[in-house]
């Protein structure tokens, strides 16, 4: 798609926000001169505290933007000369400017569609959850599904998990599905089990578990056992709703300073939703996606398409596989047991043979590979598969990714470095999920979400929320990585603390590197996309435990204001 039409479609979002549709209608490559003969920029920011995240010039006061890219970065006096008659001039009045945040692993389409269509169960008691499901069932024809999301077993005050009886009481005449916020475990009522033909005698499928107590179903189902329900559970959304879901989540995420996201599990419906929203002019962020699911990955591969296909707004990053369970749902595969459950080492969802074959095939087809691996056992297996593929077909810069890469050790760190792999650990989890870490214990927490260790080994670790599972606000992430302190003030693995500057680089430049886009974005430098955020305060200056409260004043993507607090 040519630059001019892209500008036109995106001008809708900018117009909604009251930003000038700068440069629209002018031919690219023919910038007008201002009265003094200098280039008339579209946008100029003056009197700012700019953190460029560029080693050569880490600080600046001002920048100029033309045709969606930075054209100059420097002192306010120099940059002022780029302002012409039609230039939008922002006087930052000493506020902080940073490169736009990049979330290298999240699920924006999933999140936006859920918000729009299904029942939000981010509630604090089972009673409230039952009430919310009952209310939705009352307006849903009997026999149709009620779908709930964002349930989190450690955030309810009842001290127990929801179960099949709660869900039957809430909606006896509807099949009910409640997915944990983490996305790996779910709860179903009896009508749902009947619909799927699953009962207490159904054996666990490989890589999955159906939970029972005294021989009866509890309602909880983990990992690949959820696939037993896939044939009968509807997607629950229309194409129009999915497009609107992308628009909604892009509005929410740009309000937090995000300018790029990596969708880490993009199926066919989501890819279409992104493209629909992009063409409608309602998608405010850039998306790089990891294709997951045979129906999209197989077809892309068959078409001969590979990593990098697309444009700077919507781009194929690679392919995604899942090797083990979840950190927040305490199902990840570890060499040592969970605290209080001596026989529980978590769940592996792929065999070594399956991993080896999937990685070799994707590597040969020039796909960047991202594999979900939380526990040390799963990470070891993924590295074996990467090491094997690189032996079979050596490639100098493959950047295969280890999604989450939660629990590491010196051997794994050394091999991650040696293979040039990219970890994308949760960056808001220490702060947000402190109520879960006692099941791992102090000792393991020194090696979990190990941002300090990755940096010390020279590994370009990227920042990742995994939203829905984790909060997506990057300022909370910076606070979490810097303080390693949870919401109740408890510190977890203080040896893994990093500085604000290191955290900022993880949240920007390293995210760009993780999708081979570091030449395009991730720092403030002439030639790169004008993706940046203006913050009311400098995260370097405020008390570390107040970083998450810093206000995002404006978010600019490709020179266009996509969020403004006013």
Q: Smaller CB distance to Zn ion: residue 170 or 333?
A: 333
Q: Smaller CB distance to Zn ion: residue 63 or 261?
A: 261
Give the range of 52-60, 72-80, 463-471, 491-499 binding Zn ion by CB under 5 A. Answer: 463-471
Q: How far apart are CA 540 and CA 270, in angstroms?
A: 37
To Zn ion, the closest distance from the beta carbon of 323 in angstroms equals 12
Q: Smaller CB distance to Zn ion: residue 73 or 507?
A: 507
CB 61 within 8 A of CB 104: no
With CB under 5 A as the rule, give the number of residues binding Zn ion.
2
The terminus-to-terminus CA distance of the chain in angstroms comes to 32
Per-residue x/- track, 307-326, Zn ion (CB under 5 A): --------------------
Helices H / strands E in the chain, number of each:
18, 23
Q: How far apart are CA 533 and CA 257, in angstroms?
A: 5
To Zn ion, the closest distance from the beta carbon of 264 in angstroms equals 5
To Zn ion, the closest distance from the beta carbon of 365 in angstroms equals 22
Residue located via tokens 């009968």: 232
Give the range of 19-27, 64-72, 247-255, 461-469 binding Zn ion by CB under 5 A. Answer: 461-469
Q: Which of 399, 443, 409, 403 has the alpha carbon at shortest distance from 426?
A: 403
Q: Smaller CB distance to Zn ion: residue 264 or 323?
A: 264
To Zn ion, the closest distance from the beta carbon of 246 in angstroms equals 17
To Zn ion, the closest distance from the beta carbon of 424 in angstroms equals 9
Q: Smaller CB distance to Zn ion: residue 174 or 181?
A: 181
Task: Summarize the chain as % helix, strand, coil (round to 5).
Answer: 35, 25, 45
Angle at 381 between CA 402 and CA 229, to 5 degrees: 80
Q: Smaller CB distance to Zn ion: residue 264 or 430?
A: 264
Q: Smaller CB distance to Zn ion: residue 163 or 466?
A: 466
Q: Which of 456, 478, 453, 454 has the alpha carbon at shortest distance from 465?
A: 478
CA distances from 99 to 55, 111, 232, 515, 556 (A): 14, 24, 44, 16, 9
Q: How far apart are CA 299 and CA 293, in angstroms?
A: 10
Q: Smaller CB distance to Zn ion: residue 49 or 262?
A: 262
Q: Smaller CB distance to Zn ion: residue 264 or 371?
A: 264
Q: Please, which residues have CB within 8 angstroms of residue 540's CB and are 6 or more apart in sequence?
A: 51, 500, 501
Q: Please, which residues have CB within 8 angstroms of residue 448's CB and are 6 or more apart in sequence?
A: 327, 406, 407, 408, 437, 440, 492, 493, 496
To Zn ion, the closest distance from the beta carbon of 547 in angstroms equals 24
To Zn ion, the closest distance from the beta carbon of 89 in angstroms equals 41
By CB under 5 A, is residue 380 in contact with Zn ion? no
CB 4 within 8 A of CB 12: no
Q: CB atoms < 10 A from the CB of 551, how many?
A: 12
Query: In what helix (H) or strand (E) does residue 242 lie, and over which residues does it extend?
Result: helix 239-254
Q: Smaller CB distance to Zn ion: residue 6 or 184?
A: 184
Token digits of residue 318: 């690679």
To Zn ion, the closest distance from the beta carbon of 92 in angstroms equals 35
Per-residue x/- track, 103-142, Zn ion (CB under 5 A): ----------------------------------------
By CB under 5 A, is residue 405 in contact with Zn ion? no
Q: Smaller CB distance to Zn ion: residue 62 or 273?
A: 273
Q: Please, which residues have CB within 8 angstroms of residue 256's CB and are 6 or more apart in sequence?
A: 101, 472, 473, 474, 475, 552
Q: Smaller CB distance to Zn ion: residue 264 or 408?
A: 264
HSE of 212, CA atoms in CB hemisphere, 13 A? 12
By CB under 5 A, is residue 466 in contact with Zn ion? yes
To Zn ion, the closest distance from the beta carbon of 256 in angstroms equals 18
Q: Which of 343, 409, 403 has the alpha carbon at shortest distance from 376?
A: 409
Q: Which of 408, 396, 416 has the alpha carbon at shortest distance from 495?
A: 408
CA distances from 449 to 152, 410, 428, 522 (A): 20, 14, 10, 22
Q: How far apart are CA 366 and CA 306, in angstroms?
A: 6
To Zn ion, the closest distance from the beta carbon of 105 in angstroms equals 6
Token digits of residue 240: 């129009």
To Zn ion, the closest distance from the beta carbon of 317 in angstroms equals 13
Q: Smaller CB distance to Zn ion: residue 274 or 532?
A: 274
To Zn ion, the closest distance from the beta carbon of 296 in angstroms equals 16
To Zn ion, the closest distance from the beta carbon of 466 in angstroms equals 4
Give the range of 165-173, 287-295, 310-318, 459-467 binding Zn ion by CB under 5 A. Answer: 459-467
To Zn ion, the closest distance from the beta carbon of 137 in angstroms equals 29
Give the range of 375-383, 460-468, 503-511, 538-546 binding Zn ion by CB under 5 A. Answer: 460-468
Give the range of 22-30, 194-202, 208-216, 465-473 binding Zn ion by CB under 5 A. Answer: 465-473
CB 516 within 8 A of CB 524: no
Q: Smaller CB distance to Zn ion: residue 137 or 261?
A: 261
To Zn ion, the closest distance from the beta carbon of 107 in angstroms equals 6
Binding residues for Zn ion restricted to 254-283, rule: CB under 5 A = 264
Q: Smaller CB distance to Zn ion: residue 67 or 466?
A: 466
Written as one string, the DSSP assignment of 457-520 is: TT--PPPB--SSSS---HHHHHHHHHH-B-TTS-B--GGG---HHHHHHHHTHHHHHTTT-TTT
* Footprint on this chain of Zn ion (rule: CB under 5 A): 264, 466
């Amino acid at each position: 798609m040519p630059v001019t039409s892209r500008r036109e479609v995106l001008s809708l979002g900018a117009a909604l926000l009251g930003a000038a549709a700068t440069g629209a209608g002018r031919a690219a490559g023919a910038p007008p001169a201002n009265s003094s003969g200098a280039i008339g920029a579209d946008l100029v920011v003056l009197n700012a505290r700019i953190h460029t995240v560029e080693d050569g010039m880490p600080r600046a006061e001002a920048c100029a933007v033309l045709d969606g890219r930075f054209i100059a970065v420097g002192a306010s006096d120099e940059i002022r000369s780029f302002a012409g008659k039609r230039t939008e001039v922002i006087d930052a009045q000493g506020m902080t400017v940073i490169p736009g945040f990049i979330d290298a692993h999240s699920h924006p389409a999933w999140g936006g569609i859920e918000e729009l269509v299904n029942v939000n169960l981010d509630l604090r008691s089972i009673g409230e959850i039952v009430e919310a499901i009952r209310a939705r069932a009352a307006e849903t024809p009997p026999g149709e599904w009620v779908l709930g999301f964002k349930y989190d077993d450690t955030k309810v005050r009842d001290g127990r998990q929801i179960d099949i009886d709660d869900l039957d009481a809430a909606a006896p005449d509807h099949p009910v599905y409640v997915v944990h916020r983490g996305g790996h475990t779910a709860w179903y009522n009896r009508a749902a089990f009947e619909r799927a033909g699953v009962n207490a005698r159904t054996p666990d499928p490989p890589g999955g578990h159906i939970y029972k107590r005294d021989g009866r179903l509890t309602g909880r189902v983990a990992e690949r056992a959820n696939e037993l329900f896939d044939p009968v559970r509807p997607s629950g959304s229309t194409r129009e709703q999915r497009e609107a879901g992308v628009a909604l989540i892009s509005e929410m995420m740009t309000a937090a300073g995000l300018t790029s996201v990596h969708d880490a599990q993009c199926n066919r419906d989501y890819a279409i939703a992104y493209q629909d929203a992009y063409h409608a002019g309602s998608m405010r962020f850039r998306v790089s996606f990891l294709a997951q699911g045979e129906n999209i990955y197989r077809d892309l591969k068959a078409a001969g398409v590979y990593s990098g296909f697309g444009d700077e707004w919507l781009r194929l990053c690679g392919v995604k596989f899942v090797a083990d369970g979840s950190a927040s749902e305490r199902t990840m595969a570890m060499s040592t047991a969970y605290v209080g459950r001596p026989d529980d080492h978590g769940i592996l969802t792929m065999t070594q043979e399956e991993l080896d074959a999937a990685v070799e095939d994707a590597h040969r087809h020039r796909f960047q590979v991202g594999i979900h691996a939380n526990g040390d056992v799963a990470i070891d297996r993924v590295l074996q598969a990467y090491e094997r593929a690189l032996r079979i077909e050596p490639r100098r810069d493959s950047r295969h990714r280890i999604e989450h890469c939660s629990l590491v050790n010196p051997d794994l760190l050394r091999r991650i470095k040696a293979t040039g792999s990219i970890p994308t650990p949760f960056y808001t989890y220490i702060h947000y999920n402190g109520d879960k870490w006692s099941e791992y214990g102090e000792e393991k927490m020194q090696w979990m979400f190990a941002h300090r260790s990755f940096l010390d080994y020279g590994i370009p670790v990227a920042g990742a929320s995994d939203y829905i599972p984790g909060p997506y606000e990057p300022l909370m992430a910076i606070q979490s990585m810097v303080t390693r302190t949870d919401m109740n003030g408890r510190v977890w693995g203080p040896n893994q603390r990093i500085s604000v500057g290191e955290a900022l680089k993880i949240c920007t430049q390293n995210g760009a590197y993780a999708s081979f886009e570091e030449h395009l974005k991730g720092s403030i430098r002439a030639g790169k996309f004008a993706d940046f955020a203006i913050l009311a305060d400098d995260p370097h200056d405020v008390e570390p435990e107040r970083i998450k409260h810093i206000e995002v004043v404006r978010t600019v993507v490709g020179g266009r204001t996509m969020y403004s607090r006013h």
